[in-house]
Amino acid sequence: MAFEPPQRLVRALGETAPQGDDWLEKLPETAQQAVALRELTVERVQVPGGRSSLVVLVRRPDGTPAVLKLAPPRARPESERAALAHWDGLGAVRLLEPRTTEGVLLLERLHPEVSVRSLPEAKALLEAAGTLRRLWVEPPAGHPFETVAERTGRQAEAMRATVPEFGEVASLVDAAVEARGSLLAAPPEERLLHGTFRQSKVLAGERTPWLAVGPDPVVGECAFDLARLVRDRVEDLIATPSGAATTRRRVKRLAESLYVDQERLRGWTLFRAVESGVRALRVGRSKDAELLLEFAAWL
């Protein structure tokens, strides 16, 4: 079978590595080797798939359905492997094998066509929040994961570097960076976090109704993880006259339901929205940038 990467993946990898690398070029051979090593039967490549990995629906030698995931080093697949091993199926997709090949993960099969995002908004937020709560556990001793301070430090530097070219975002960048500084000055208890949690990252499963997939794990306070969920369906929020008020209510409701400080959640929501908006602006996704920066201005 030809392992043709979906265009969504090709475009996204082009944004994260504009100078290019040879991962995509080697992908067909890597996928063939991974399939042969595990004696898998390939069903199909998942389309449109993710933005950082090739996802292939397969069956193991005993006929059990599974997912083969291949990701480049810049997507931190070994960090994902370590987090999934630590969660061991609690709230997240289960890892089906220990490390065999770097950058290749064999995972339990969920229902990729059914995510929490398919539910009505209120129900989707409730189910997503419940799934996220189960992931917030103590990180393993001597863990290999990046911290929130480290990740957001890099992001803050990239945001500042963008200001000379896109001066219109200067005030939002200043507010976001200031909020980060205040939040890191007195952080609460640290937990292992999903890192990139949103409704589309929660899929229907067999052993439990909903399970998280695709973590980019990080260690830090829970409000950082929850912040990405606040802006889910941002295009719908922007399209309604009551979007700003709805956003503020969402911050309050999510903070109360997961026992997170409301102001800390608001601060991290601001930082993460501005960071995503500036990054979108930098790579030419002007429509996404406009939505995200307008959302950030409400906070």
Q: What is the pLDDT of residues 209-244, one digit of tens each?
A: 999 999 999 999 999 999 999 999 999 999 999 999
Mean pLDDT, rounded, of the chain: 93
pLDDT for 20: 60
Which neighbouring-strand residues pair with 101?
A: 104
Arithmetic mean of pLDDT, 132-151: 96
Q: Is 123 exposed, middle or buried (0-12, 13-18, 19+ CB in 10 A)?
A: exposed
- The domain of 246 spans 114-297
Is residue 1 in some structural domain? no
pLDDT in tens, 183-207: 999 999 999 999 999 999 999 999 9
Residues 59 and 140 in one domain: no
| Domain final residue, candidates 109, 142, 159 | 109
CATH classification of the domain holding 78: 3.30.200.20
CATH classification of the domain holding 286: 3.90.1200.10
Residues 250 and 149 in one domain: yes
Q: How confident is the model at residue 1 (pLDDT cuts 50, 70, 90)?
A: low
Arithmetic mean of pLDDT, 76-88: 96
Residues 122 and 53 in one domain: no
Annotate 1-31 with b (16+ C-beta within 10 A) or e (fewer).
eebebbeebeebbeeeeeeeeebbeebeebb
- Please report, rounded to a whole number, the percentage of residues in the chain having pLDDT higher than 70: 97
Residues 273 and 142 in one domain: yes
Is residue 2 in some structural domain? no
Residues 23 and 55 in one domain: yes
Answer yes or no: is pLDDT of 179 > 70. yes
Count of domains for the chain: 2
pLDDT for 19: 59
The overall pTM is greater than 0.85: yes
pLDDT for 5: 81
Please report the DSSP string for the chain in residue order: ---PPPHHHHHHHHHH-TT--SHHHHHHHHHHHHHHHHTPEEEEE-SS--SS-EEEEEE-TTS-EEEEEE--GGG-HHHHHHHHHHHTTSSBPPB-SS-SBTTEEEEE--EEEEEGGGS-HHHHHHHHHHHHHHH-BPPPTT--PEEHHHHHHHHHHHHHHHTTT-GGGHHHHHHHHHHHHHHHHS----EEE-SS--GGGEEE-SSSSEEE-----EEE-HHHHHHHHHTTTHHHHHHSTTHHHHHHHHHHHHHHHTT--HHHHHHHHHHHHHHHHHHHHHTT-HHHHHHHHHHHHT-
Residues 33 and 98 in one domain: yes
pLDDT in tens, 9-68: 888 787 766 556 788 889 999 999 999 999 999 999 998 777 889 999 999 999 999 999
pLDDT for 229: 95
CA gap 132, 258 in Å, rounded: 9
Residues 144 and 230 in one domain: yes
Residues 170 and 95 in one domain: no
| Domain final residue, candidates 58, 85, 109 | 109
What length is written for the chain?
Answer: 299
Residues 151 and 260 in one domain: yes
Q: How confident is the model at residue 291 (pLDDT cuts 50, 70, 90)?
A: very high
Arithmetic mean of pLDDT, 81-106: 94
Residues 146 and 218 in one domain: yes
pLDDT for 253: 95
